[in-house]
Amino acid sequence: MTLRLATRRSPLALIQSRYVQQRLAELGTDSELVLVETRGDREKDVELSTLGGQGVFAVEIQRALLWNEADVAVHSAKDLPSATPKGLALVSVPQRLDPADVLVGRSLAGLGPGATVATGSPRRRALLLERRPDLEVIPLRGNMATRLGVAGKNGVDAVVAAMAALERMEESTLVSERLDPLWFVPQVGQGALALEARSDDDKTCQALDAINDVAAFKAVRAERAFLGELGAGCSIPGGASADVENGTITLRGVMLAPDGTKSVRGEVVGDDPHALGTQLARLLRDEMGGGALLGWES
């Protein structure tokens, strides 16, 4: 059996997909890449919030599975919409890398008053302004190499990126500061790969299950349940990150005003990923006033 792996064409996406190929090959499963162009890749000059947030890097890849043009969808877990399309299943999350965010160019303390930081993420923008309201935070798009190249040029002092992306690209030496995820709560799924298959494709699901990391899978499920309960995409300033130890999940989350002036944070502990994610979302949105903070209905 040769599995067809649907993936984006970006350099980072190809590195991630070749990693999945390697893991499968170690267990005797051959695979080939099916390159897919997503809306997010085509419209590189449009801010993600304008494009509609989550899904712009995933929908076409999921469609390749539904149309039987591929057998496996290889995603960055943070790019997945909160709801899985009918007929597909999230089957596997291989070993997860560090989910933290980092600064490239300068550390937070090294940024002078009014310094310019670039990021395309509303969550990152709000978290930066929460701690440093003096900063000028400007939008940023493009593949990882393009974004990293912005730091230190044309008046941009620093760029925010994912630690896992730099690790996969072997560019960790560029990190000026790792931002503490207890404060700078990561995006749902950050640092993880998410492998989808058709829910009735037993052979493919079995092959993917062999490279699944149980703890990482639990963590991502809890984070995605948080996102699903909020019904929020990446245009909403919020994040959640789970740690799993001996089967126990600790899930932390944050919701912020877009300008970082107000925020609510919470933490829940348990063993049911879906129940925990739902509980934390309701805690922040309803009990701690996050809904009113962002102008949502409770």
For the stretch 80-96, pLDDT in tens is 988 899 999 999 999 99
- The domain that holds 151 is classified in CATH as 3.40.190.10
Residue range(s) defining the domain that contains residue 170: 101-178
Domain presence at residue 144: yes
Q: Of these residues, 8, 96, 106, 123, which one is catalytic?
A: 123
Domain presence at residue 174: yes
Domain presence at residue 216: no
Domain presence at residue 129: yes
Concerning whether 147 is annotated as a catalytic residue, the answer is: yes
Concerning whether 96 is annotated as a catalytic residue, the answer is: no
Domain presence at residue 265: no
Query: How many domains is the chain built from?
Result: 1
Q: Of these residues, 218, 221, 224, 234, which one is catalytic?
A: 234
Strand partners, 34: 6
Q: What's the pLDDT at 42?
A: 60
Return the axis-axis angle of helices 273-282 and 214-230, rounded to nearest 10°: 30
Report pTM: 0.91
Neighbour order of strands in the sheet with 116-118: 136-138, 116-118, 158-162, 101-104, 175-178
Domain presence at residue 156: yes
User: What's the first-to-final CA gap in the chain, in angstroms?
Assistant: 49
Q: Quickly count: other Cβ atoms within 10 Å of residue 154's Cβ.
A: 7
Distance (Å, whole) CA 105 – CA 94: 30
* Mean pLDDT, the chain, whole residue set: 91
Domain presence at residue 94: no
Distance of CA 253 to the CA centre of its chain: 14
Q: What's the pLDDT at 298?
A: 41
Concerning whether 224 is annotated as a catalytic residue, the answer is: no
Distance (Å, whole) CA 109 – CA 35: 41
Would you call 243 exposed, middle or buried from its count of C-beta atoms within 10 A (0-12, 13-18, 19+)? middle
